[in-house]
Amino acid sequence: MNLSELINALRRSWWLVAACLIVGAASAAGVTQVLPEQFDSTVSLLVAVVPDAGASPLQANSATVERVKSLVSVPMSTPVVDDVINRLSLSEGRAGLIRRISVSVPAETTVMNISVRDTDRQAAATLANTVGEAFSTRVATIDPSGTKIAVSVIQPAGPAPAPSSPRPLLNLAVGFLLGGVIGVTAAALRSRRRGVLSSPDAVELATGSTVLAQTAAPEYLSVLDALADRPAVRDEMYRRLRISLSRRCGASRAESPDVCLVCGDLSDTGTAWIAAQLALANAAAGARVLVIDIAGSPESTGQSVGLIDLLLQRVPVEEVLVTLPTTAGVTLLGWGLPDVRVVDPLGMSEMAKVLPRLAERFDCIVIRSSNIALSSDAALLSEHASKVLLVVQASDATSAAIAYAVEAVRRVTGSSPGIVLTSSPNRLGARRGSGTARRRGASKTALPRETRR
């Protein structure tokens, strides 16, 4: 899994990561509350060794440092521990007391720090001082002359001002970190188990189709809104998409008009945006472009008549075409009001006659259809398309859904569709002030009456 796939997995399973973070932090807080407070007290001793006669200062200092290092284990030795237990009349065993004693010697010094841990701060200080006294007594026993080694107290042990354990902030940080690691791992495993494909290489490997572009596409944006925004006329990516689509995509049947079908795999997210930008790119190249919005509602074109009225021969072509005053070279044709008396209008034989009539007026026809997995419209329309473009949202692109959509196109056209991988629709839609909160098909652009032909 590469970085982009991991990011998409985290976006899909953000709630899982958040839950693991909360559980990790809560567990750390619970453990902190349960653990007893521990206090550390330290006594600092200066160990001096009387040098031999005739030894140089450097030799004397080196010998003292080495001698102090050799005495590190003495405070935890059996004689010293037994002496401490007898002096304080402790009921604790030897092994338990040894585990609570620690000794450290700063580098190249003759200072020995003896620390003792206890649940009572005063008891910890008393124990540390007693261990220091017992150590001094034991050193005198080791060297019977009593003149070679001298131990003096630099800093006696006192009650610790704060507990050394548990450490709430550290525990919370560790719990939060562990929860995050578990959450990210769970999100990645969940994404892999679902078979989500979020990178172009993964999609191409799973389907055998070519990913022509990867871009961001706003969600819940009608074709009319996208055409009115006109941001992509200067976008080189859509120009390359238009050229690649004409070279590498779909069935190239010479007898068919230049019809490009744009549909989704599981949802319509991004299809309106991609269809509009493809139309703008063709118009920028000098072509007369017609965009047919099958998936949009009547409000998405600003009028109630559309393609269904042409198929039923209710109105002439001039009555259903909508031109945009600000978009030269692009004309819009909506679906129109549904007729309950017609079960499957796209399956009518009239469809094969309407498209050639429209092709006489336009150089290129772009059809935006519903998703191919949940609707038969895209499969029916692919019979009349010379190129098919499948829009796949990276955050929901499962291998099974994409494979099904690609195979559905192959069965009809005999060739694989081109694929556009989209991502981050919400952020782009919000940035453009588009209707991301509106229902699909609702238009923010009202067409004046005189723009309808």
| Per-residue pLDDT tens digits for 54-65 | 556 666 677 778
Mean pLDDT, each 10-residue run in order, the chain (453 residues) = 70 86 91 88 86 61 78 89 90 89 88 92 92 88 63 89 87 91 86 63 73 71 67 60 62 59 75 84 86 73 75 83 79 76 66 84 86 70 82 72 79 80 52 36 39 40
| Per-residue pLDDT tens digits for 238-272 | 777 777 766 654 444 444 568 888 887 766 677 88
CB neighbours of residue 126 within 10 Å: 18
Residue 160 lies in a domain: no
Residue 125 lies in a domain: yes
Give the CATH number of the domain where residue 101 resides: 3.30.70.1130
Residue 399 lies in a domain: yes
pLDDT of residue 260: 86
Q: What is the pTM of this model?
A: 0.52
Q: How far apart are CA 256 and CA 312, in angstroms?
A: 22
Closest CA to 390 of 265, 249, 248, 215: 265
**Are residues 82 and 19 both part of a single domain?**
no
Last residue of a domain, one of 125, 153, 181: 153
Q: How far apart are CA 354 and CA 309, in angstroms?
A: 11
Residue 226 lies in a domain: yes
Where are the alpha helices (H) located in 71-120, listed in sequence order? 78-88, 94-99
**Are residues 183 and 257 both part of a single domain?**
no
Token pair for residue 380? 């029916």
Region of 138 please: left (phi>0), alpha (psi -120 to 50) or beta: alpha
Q: How far apart are CA 386 and CA 417, in angstroms?
A: 10
SS3 state at 339 = coil
**Are residues 29 and 45 both part of a single domain?**
no
**Are residues 244 and 392 both part of a single domain?**
yes
**Are residues 434 and 356 both part of a single domain?**
yes
**Are residues 123 and 138 both part of a single domain?**
yes
Q: How far apart are CA 451 and CA 311, in angstroms?
A: 23
Q: What is the 3-state secondary structure (H, E, C) of 9-71?
A: HHHHCHHHHHHHHHHHHHHHHHHHHHCCCEEEEEEEEEEEECCCCCCCHHHHHHHHHHHHHHC
Residue 159 lies in a domain: no
Residue 161 lies in a domain: no
**Are residues 302 and 420 both part of a single domain?**
yes
**Contact predicate 327/288, CB 8 Å:** no
pLDDT of residue 405: 79
**Are residues 343 and 417 both part of a single domain?**
yes
Residue 158 lies in a domain: no
**Are residues 27 and 43 both part of a single domain?**
no
pLDDT of residue 360: 87
The total of structural domains in the chain comes to 3
**Are residues 123 and 176 both part of a single domain?**
no
**Are residues 93 and 216 both part of a single domain?**
no
Q: How far apart are CA 87 and CA 130, in angstroms?
A: 8
Angstrom CA distances, 196 to 10, 68, 200, 393, 404, stand at: 12, 64, 12, 10, 14
Residue 353 lies in a domain: yes
Q: Which domain holds residue 13?
A: 3-35+166-193
**Are residues 215 and 189 both part of a single domain?**
no
**Contact predicate 368/259, CB 8 Å:** no
